[in-house]
């Protein structure tokens, strides 16, 4: 372009004549030339230089205007499409701009009214309320935020007030960004309500609910749990480890359980817990991992139940079952032993009857029979323990019973043991076998004496007590009602818990070999149980022992049951007796003895044989002598079949078991003639004659 202009200028200067001679006025000539040059070149400069530049400038301005308009439109679109409420205010709380959401939610009449106050529409007030975020931001020039429920809008809103500054950093107003948070608030309220409900449930459940860390630290625990470990509040634990509250022997097991839980598995464990005050209790805990929303295990959630009473009752049940099993065993042993004793006693008496008074063998026979009496006493003791011995019940006064054995007990205890008695002023009548109750007192007194080798005091006291639900729950035994209580207390060496658990077992004794059979307390236990009573032992090493006997109270007005019995000399007869006995020795002995006294004997080995033989000899048989327990068909079943043939037949039952045991087994009930083995020939003869003569 400049080249063209230069060329034109040169051409003009060469072709046009000079208007002013430069020699005359060089300065004027130069000015004229410049003017002329400008006039001549101006069109060219406009067309080739200025016009394109102007065209470019006009295009840029137009583009900038379009971009600015588009940006403004984009801002307006964004401003009005934002779902949050946005309003722009001046320093006087006047709303000068609002987006569509604000106009809609706040019902803002922006087009029909200028300068509406923000607090009128946000808060429904005539002046800025307390805690207004706008006031805070205008005061300190910093953003502020508030969550508030606005009744006139019926919603929770979150308001953010943001200060506006001009180019000189002067505060000129505010921007409000408000959001409807009603849904979130409802969810938060529901979460709080659910949390409170869950907390209330956890706090009221009768089990310990706890959260534990991986190292065993206690994070949370409900009121039941705090009570279980004897703590007043969770603060008292202060991050205490659960392991410090577990009996040492169970800590490894609980550590393994905790490890299992933090590996994602459930677990269950029974262990002994030790409270802050030292109380030990059995508990059962069931545990699961507690996970967060990401599935990570955050805590050990355990539900722990106090099973101390359950363990106590479980132990009592095991003890009762053990005692019952031992009783069944001893009863069976006594039954078999009685058959053996019956043969020994029988043959001994036969020999004694057949030899003369001066026979040198007679003292030996007497010694044999004396030994069988002691053996019989032993079997009766076993039956007493198993509660299978026959007892004679009648009203007796425990006060009178203690007084009656007082002198005997004095001699039994010896000079270095003092005997004290204390009697209740209340009625102490019970229904009992006086002989067996006296035996109980004798056995307990003997044990007390042996527990005081250096002397001491034995106190026997009577009293009355009402056993209620609280008593039964506390001690684990008893039935509701009024009881007469007899206690025997000594100042002896006492016993530990392990020994107390076994004292009523047969043949258990703490005495040296040869110093005791271990049957004394087992007999006491059996006698008291057979009287529907209860016996309890409390003892500690070095603090003596107290046995408490509870027997159901009975009114003193109950009529005394007279002991029935008739004494007469044995005599024989000529009747025919059908004998059914499965023990060969007893059957042989009984047959021989009865024949010696003139009776005719038909022998049967079992119940079926007895029925068959009766059918064959029914016209000749006068009496059935049946063992109650026979193989196959027992004595009662055989008797029932025979009675269908001859209803009036007489029968006498024998057994090594007692009538009460046979009744429990359903063999027969009251009204049957019965004789207990071992039986001497004289007693058997008396009973046979008695039944035949009825």
Let me know how long the chain is.
Answer: 694
Q: What is the pLDDT of residue 266?
A: 93
Q: Regarding predicted confidence, which is higher, 512 or 186? A: 186
Q: What is the pLDDT of residue 144?
A: 93
pLDDT in tens, 613-670: 999 998 899 999 998 888 888 888 899 999 999 998 999 988 876 655 666 656 655 5
Q: What is the pLDDT of residue 650?
A: 92
Query: What is the radius of gyration, based on Cα positions, of the chain?
Result: 57
Q: Regarding predicted confidence, which is higher, 1 or 184? A: 184
Q: What is the pLDDT of residue 111?
A: 45
Q: What is the pLDDT of residue 659?
A: 57
Q: Is CATH 3.40.50.2300 correct for 82-186?
A: no
Highest mean pLDDT among 51-60, 599-608, 671-680: 599-608
Residue 274 class from Cβ within 10 Å (0-12 exposed, 13-18 middle, 19+ buried)? Answer: middle
pLDDT band at 352 (very low <50, low <70, confident <90, very high): confident
Q: What is the average pLDDT value for the chain, to the nearest integer?
A: 79
Find the range with the poorest average confidence among 202-216, 330-344, 612-626, 643-657: 330-344
Q: Report how many helices (DSSP H) and strands (DSSP E) the chain contains, helices first.
A: 21, 22
pLDDT in tens, 534-548: 888 888 888 899 999
Q: What is the pLDDT of residue 559?
A: 40
Q: Regarding predicted confidence, which is higher, 469 or 30? A: 469
Classify 666 in phi/psi space as left (phi over 0), alpha (psi -120 to 50) or beta. left
Range(s) for CATH 3.40.50.2300 in the chain? 576-692
Has residue 22 got a pLDDT over 60?
no
Rounded to whole angstroms, the Cα distance separating 283 from 308 reads 7
Say what percent of the chain tops pLDDT 90. Answer: 25
CATH superfamily label, 576-692: Response regulator (3.40.50.2300)
Instruction: Spell out the long-range contacts of 359-363 with Cβ–Cβ below 8 A and sequence spacing 24 or more.
Output: none
Q: Which CATH architecture has domain 205-306?
A: 2-Layer Sandwich (3.30)
Cβ atoms 489, 560 nearer than 8 A: no
Angle, CA of 417, 423 and 428, to the nearest 5°: 130
Average pLDDT over residues 555-560: 47
User: DSSP class of residue 244?
Assistant: G
pLDDT band at 273 (very low <50, low <70, confident <90, very high): very high
Range(s) for CATH 3.30.450.20 in the chain? 82-186, 205-306
Q: What is the pLDDT of residue 21?
A: 52
Rounded to whole angstroms, the Cα distance separating 602 from 620 reads 10
CATH fold of 394-552, please? Heat Shock Protein 90 (3.30.565)
Q: Regarding predicted confidence, which is higher, 102 or 333? A: 102
Angle, CA of 345, 348 and 349, to the nearest 5°: 85
pLDDT in tens, 283-294: 999 999 999 888
Residue 471 class from Cβ within 10 Å (0-12 exposed, 13-18 middle, 19+ buried)? Answer: middle
3-state secondary structure of 679: coil
């Amino acid at each position: 372009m400049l080249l063209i202009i230069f060329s034109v200028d040169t051409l003009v200067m060469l072709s046009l004549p000079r208007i002013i001679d430069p020699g005359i006025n060089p300065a004027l000539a130069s000015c004229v030339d410049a003017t002329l040059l400008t006039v001549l070149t101006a069109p060219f400069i406009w067309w080739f230089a200025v016009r394109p530049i102007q065209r470019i400038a006009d295009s840029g301005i137009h583009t900038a205007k379009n971009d600015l308009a588009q940006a403004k439109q984009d801002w307006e679109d964004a401003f009005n499409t934002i779902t949050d409420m946005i309003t722009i205010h001046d320093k006087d709380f006047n709303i000068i701009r609002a987006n569509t959401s604000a106009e809609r939610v706040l019902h803002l009449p922006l087009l029909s009214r200028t300068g509406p106050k923000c607090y009128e529409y946000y808060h429904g007030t005539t002046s800025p309320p307390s805690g207004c975020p706008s006031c805070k931001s205008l005061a300190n020039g910093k953003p502020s935020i508030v969550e508030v429920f606005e009744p006139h809008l019926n919603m929770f809103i979150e308001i953010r007030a943001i200060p506006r500054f001009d180019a000189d950093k002067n505060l000129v107003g505010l921007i409000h960004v408000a959001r409807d948070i009603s849904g979130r608030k409802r969810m938060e309220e529901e979460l709080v309500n659910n949390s409170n409900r869950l907390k209330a449930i956890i706090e009221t459940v009768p089990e310990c609910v706890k959260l534990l860390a991986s190292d065993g630290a206690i994070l949370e625990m409900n009121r039941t749990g705090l009570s279980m470990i004897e703590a007043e509040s969770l603060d008292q634990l202060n991050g205490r480890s659960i392991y410090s509250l577990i009996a040492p022997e169970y800590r490894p097991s609980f550590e393994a359980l905790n490890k299992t839980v933090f590996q994602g598995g459930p677990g269950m464990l029974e262990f002994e817990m030790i409270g802050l005050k030292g109380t030990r209790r059995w508990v059962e805990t069931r545990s699961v991992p507690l996970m967060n929303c990401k599935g990570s295990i955050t805590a050990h959630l355990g539900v722990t139940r106090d099973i101390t009473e359950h363990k106590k009752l479980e132990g009592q049940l095991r003890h009762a079952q053990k005692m019952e099993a031992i009783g069944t065993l001893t009863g069976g042993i006594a039954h078999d032993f009685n058959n053996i004793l019956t043969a020994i006693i029988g043959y001994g008496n036969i020999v004694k009857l057949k030899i003369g008074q001066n026979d040198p063998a007679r003292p030996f026979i007497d010694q044999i029979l004396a030994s069988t009496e002691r053996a019989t006493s032993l079997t009766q003791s076993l039956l007493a323990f198993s509660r299978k011995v026959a007892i004679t019940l009648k009203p007796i006064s425990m006060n009178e019973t203690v007084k009656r054995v007082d002198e005997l007990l004095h001699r039994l205890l010896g000079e270095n043991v003092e005997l004290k008695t204390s009697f209740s002023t209340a009625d102490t009548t019970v229904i009992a076998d006086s002989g067996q109750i006296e035996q109980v007192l004798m056995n307990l007194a003997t044990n007390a004496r042996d527990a005081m080798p250096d002397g001491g005091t034995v106190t026997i006291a009577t009293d009355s007590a009402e056993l209620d639900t609280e008593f039964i729950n506390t001690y684990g035994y008893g039935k509701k009602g009024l009881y007469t209580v007899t206690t025997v207390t000594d100042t002896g060496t006492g016993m530990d818990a392990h020994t107390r658990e076994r004292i009523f077992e047969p043949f258990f004794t703490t005495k040296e070999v040869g110093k005791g059979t271990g049957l004394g307390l087992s007999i006491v236990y059996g006698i008291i149980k057979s009287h529907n009573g209860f016996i309890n032992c409390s003892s500690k090493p070095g603090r003596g022992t107290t046995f408490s006997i509870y027997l159901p109270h009975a009114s003193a007005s109950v009529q005394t049951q007279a002991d029935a019995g008739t004494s007469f000399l044995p005599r024989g007869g000529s009747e025919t007796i059908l004998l059914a006995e499965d023990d060969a020795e007893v059957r042989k002995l009984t047959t021989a003895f009865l024949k010696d006294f003139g009776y005719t004997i038909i022998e049967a080995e079992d119940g079926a044989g007895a029925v068959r033989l009766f059918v064959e000899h029914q016209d000749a048989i006068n009496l059935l002598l049946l063992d109650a327990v026979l193989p196959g068909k027992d004595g009662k079943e055989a008797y029932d079949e025979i009675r269908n043939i001859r209803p009036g037949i007489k029968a006498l039952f024998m057994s090594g078991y007692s009538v009460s045991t046979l009744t429990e087994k359903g063999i027969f009930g009251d009204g049957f003639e019965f004789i207990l083995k071992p039986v001497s020939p004289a007693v058997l003869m008396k009973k046979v004659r008695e039944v035949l003569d009825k």
